[in-house]
Amino acid sequence: MMEEVAASVVMTEHDYGSAANPGALDAAAARIQQLEDKIKELTTELSQLKVWQVHFHRFCVSDKDILFYTRFTSRYVFCDFWEAIQPSASMVVYWSKAQKKGQTFEPISPSPTRTLQLIDEFFLFCCRVAAGLQEKVLADMFQVSVSTVSRVVITWANYLFLLLGSLPIWMSKQQVKNTMPSKFVQYSPDVRVIIDCTEVRCQNSSSLTLQSEVFSSYKNTTTLKGLIGIAPCSAVTFVSSLFTGSISDRELTERSGLLDLLEAGDGCMADKGFTIEKLLADRGATLIIPPFKMTAQFTKEDALKTQAIARLRILVERAIRRVKEYRIWEHTLPLTLSGTVNQLWTVCCVMTNFQGPLDLKGYIPVE
């Protein structure tokens, strides 16, 4: 009898053929999947941490460092921008590869091997454009060849040009009205855009014809000229292509495409040198400029309004100053970037919007 009981106990403890509890199996499978997902998440975080420690984190310890190397105002803003572009950036094809594929009908696939991680490529591009670091310096910093630096800069200039150029930065009338500072409402409520032109230097070409086309008498150097428009809230809302430096402000405005965006009743604030009143009138828009000379007939209110218009127009000069703070413009652009200069120009102009609005304090007369 005792032997039968013992045998029964043994069979109960080691009954491998018995059916398992379905609920327990499901719970175990779910737990395994949960752990696998956690492993993937931690692996990704570790990989990203290594990347940031190697380059971005290595050089950008403080927000001041980030501003110097990238012109983003803080780590938070830089990270937000990177997270927004990262999904499409993963499909970027190196510019040299895109050029070769452009000669065939073969589909272009993302570059399979990269010397640098994507975020490092973007950071390198920022260092070249925002900090103005030369290619040899960047090659040493990132431990890559100078040709790789050049390829990365051109690739990212074209990619960001396509990405940022597709953003609808031109603000509707209602958007302009909703974001208009009170001083504009008081003195120039119809302003849709404030415009001005600026120039960038380019390296002399061996072609005398080309030099003649881009020669600017204003700065006695070889230059290209572009037009920038901002909304009253100080956001950049229009960026023209670059034209030869000898072009007049009027012709540049006419050829830039800005006039096609203006509507009846819009006010365009500009400097006295913009002789575009008739061009604007043909579209039902008006030119807002400070008067050439104040007379004795000016009332106090007229004088205050004139002063306000002059100071409000300074906003576009400050916006241009932000663009010029991308230190790549401090030096004469090399001919190797001649095919990418428009892309670089547009990217720099649009990326200033990520620095936040300009402060109007101190630039508006107080009643």
Q: What is the pLDDT, as a whole number, of residue 367?
A: 35
Considering the domain boundaries, does residue 7 fall inside one?
no
Beta bridge partners of 268: 193, 287
Q: What is the pLDDT, as a whole number, of residue 102?
A: 46
Q: Of the segments 93-102, 186-195, 211-220, which one has the largest average pLDDT value?
A: 186-195
Considering the domain boundaries, does residue 250 fall inside one?
yes
Binned at pLDDT 50, 70 and 90, residue 211 comes out as low
Considering the domain boundaries, does residue 180 fall inside one?
yes
Binned at pLDDT 50, 70 and 90, residue 327 comes out as very high
* 119 and 184 both lie in a single domain: no
CATH number for the domain that contains residue 212: 3.30.420.10
* 103 pLDDT above the threshold of 50: no
pLDDT in tens, 13-71: 555 455 556 677 778 888 888 899 888 887 766 655 554 455 777 888 899 999 999 99
181-195, 220-234, 289-303, 311-325: least confident range = 289-303
* 249 and 289 both lie in a single domain: yes
* 118 and 177 both lie in a single domain: no
Q: What is the pLDDT, as a whole number, of residue 217?
A: 52
Local structure of residue 333 (DSSP, 8 states): B
* 142 and 192 both lie in a single domain: no
* 222 and 156 both lie in a single domain: no
* 101 and 212 both lie in a single domain: no
> How many structural domains comprise the chain?
2
* 348 pLDDT above the threshold of 50: yes
* 340 and 302 both lie in a single domain: yes
Average model confidence (pLDDT) for the chain? 82
The domain of 137 spans 56-165
Parallel, antiparallel, or unpaired: how do β-strands 243-244 and 236-239 relate?
A: unpaired
Considering the domain boundaries, does residue 38 fall inside one?
no
Considering the domain boundaries, does residue 367 fall inside one?
no
Point out the domain boundary residue: 139, 165, 191.
165
Taking residues 326-340, report their average pLDDT: 89
Point out the domain boundary residue: 165, 199, 230.
165
**Geometric angle at alpha carbon 120, from 114 and 121, rounded to 5°:** 60
* 137 and 180 both lie in a single domain: no
pLDDT in tens, 141-156: 999 999 999 999 999 9
Instruction: Tell the burial category of 160 from Cβ atoms under 10 Å away from its Cβ (0-12, 13-18, 19+).
Output: buried
DSSP 122-189: HHHHHHHHTS---HHHHHHHHT--HHHHHHHHHHHHHHHHHHHHTS--SPPHHHHHHT--HHHHHH-T
Q: What is the pLDDT, as a whole number, of residue 77?
A: 94
Point out the domain boundary residue: 123, 142, 165.
165
* 137 and 204 both lie in a single domain: no
* 123 and 178 both lie in a single domain: no
Considering the domain boundaries, does residue 73 fall inside one?
yes
Higher pLDDT, 349 or 105: 349
* 148 and 247 both lie in a single domain: no
Binned at pLDDT 50, 70 and 90, residue 213 comes out as low
* 127 and 272 both lie in a single domain: no
Dist CA 22 CA 20 (whole Å): 6
Show Cβ contacts of residue 319 under 8 Å, excluding neighbours closer than 6 positions: 228, 230, 234, 236, 352, 358
